[in-house]
């Protein structure tokens, strides 16, 4: 938990430094001040509201014991197994099988699953997936995961910030500088994604298998999801690839630059580790 808090602090400090440096390069002291104010506001927003923003982005709808009794009660049972407060439960009307967890802490957590994953998996397999997501909540991975997704998306605003200064006649910013900013902004976003350790997925698999007491079910679920996910597009993830690292399986097609956003370990290795647990 301390490690994730440290990562979060470094991430939030890094975005302030990045914005401030760009602002100073493009607009001097005035530009740096504006950039620092934007970065500070972004950090506050990301900490308190990034989870709601991601859920809204995916048009997730909250369900309860009345509207989705089987799914809701499954999450409730697993939360008790994990000794966690009951999270909010959401369903996303998308055909691609996938799931994620979000929230700044276990007391303000939410788990979400697509209708595709609920239709594809057996009850045992779905139980394994939701146990994996609750493991992320227990380990407090969701804070840095959701904040990084929000900030990585906002990095693109640096490019517009650069063009704003480049078009200012009184600032004398060379067009080449603005072009360089536009090139480096996506790279910075990619590096933020790479800052999210792939090891956390292995650890969530291990802890999820313990919460559900069924490692083979999670292994079977990962195999099914991996087989189907890349065949069925998830348009929201394609439009916002910075959110891909939140999912249990990378939802992006491997084409082009989007493949660079993958922070997931090889599914085969995840399955092998789970089967070793079962053995």
**CA 150 vs CA 21, 53, 157, 211: distances in Å:** 20, 8, 12, 29
- What tokens appear for 14 in the block? 């890094």
- Rounded Cα distance, 164 and 156, in Å: 13
Neighbours of 274 (CB within 10 A): 25
Please give the helix or strand (H or E) that residue 243 lies within, else none: none
**174 annotated ligand-binding residue:** no
Q: Could you confirm whether 125 is annotated as catalytic?
A: no
- Rounded Cα distance, 14 and 83, in Å: 34
**139 annotated ligand-binding residue:** no
Go through the chain and tell me how many residues it has: 279
- What tokens appear for 164 in the block? 């704003």
Q: Is 208 helix (H, G, I), strand (E, B) or coil?
A: helix
Q: Is 110 helix (H, G, I), strand (E, B) or coil?
A: strand
- Active-site residue, from 133, 203, 235, 238: 133
- Rounded Cα distance, 144 and 6, in Å: 10
Annotated binding site: 132, 136, 201
The set of catalytic residues is: 133
Annotated binding site for Zn(2+): 132, 136, 201
């Amino acid at each position: 938990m301390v490690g994730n808090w440290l990562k979060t602090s470094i991430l939030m400090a890094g975005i302030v430094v990045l914005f401030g440096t760009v602002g100073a390069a493009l607009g001097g002291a005035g530009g740096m001040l504006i950039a620092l104010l934007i970065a500070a506001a972004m950090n506050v927003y990301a900490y308190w509201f990034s989870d709601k923003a991601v859920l809204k982005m995916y048009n997730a709808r909250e369900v309860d014991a009345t509207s989705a009794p089987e799914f809701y009660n499954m999450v409730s049972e697993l939360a008790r197994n994990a000794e966690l407060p009951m999270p909010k439960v959401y369903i996303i009307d998308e055909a691609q099988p996938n799931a994620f967890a979000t929230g700044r802490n276990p007391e303000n957590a939410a788990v979400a699953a697509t209708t595709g994953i609920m239709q594809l998996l057996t009850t045992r397999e779905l139980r394994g997936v939701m146990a994996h997501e609750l493991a992320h909540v227990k380990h407090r991975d969701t804070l840095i995961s959701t904040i990084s997704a929000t900030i990585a998306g906002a990095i693109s605003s640096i490019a517009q910030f650069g063009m704003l200064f480049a078009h200012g006649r009184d600032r004398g910013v060379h067009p080449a500088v603005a072009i360089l900013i536009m090139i480096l902004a996506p790279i910075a976003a990619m590096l933020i994604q790479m800052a999210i350790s792939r090891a956390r997925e292995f650890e969530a698999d291990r802890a999820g298998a313990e919460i559900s007491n069924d490692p083979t079910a999670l292994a079977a679920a990962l195999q099914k999801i991996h087989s189907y996910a890349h065949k069925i597009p998830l348009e929201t993830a394609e439009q916002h690839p910075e959110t891909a690292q939140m999912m249990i399986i990378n939802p992006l097609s491997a084409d082009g630059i989007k493949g660079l956003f993958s922070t997931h370990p090889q599914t085969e290795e995840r399955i092998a580790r789970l089967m070793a647990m079962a053995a």
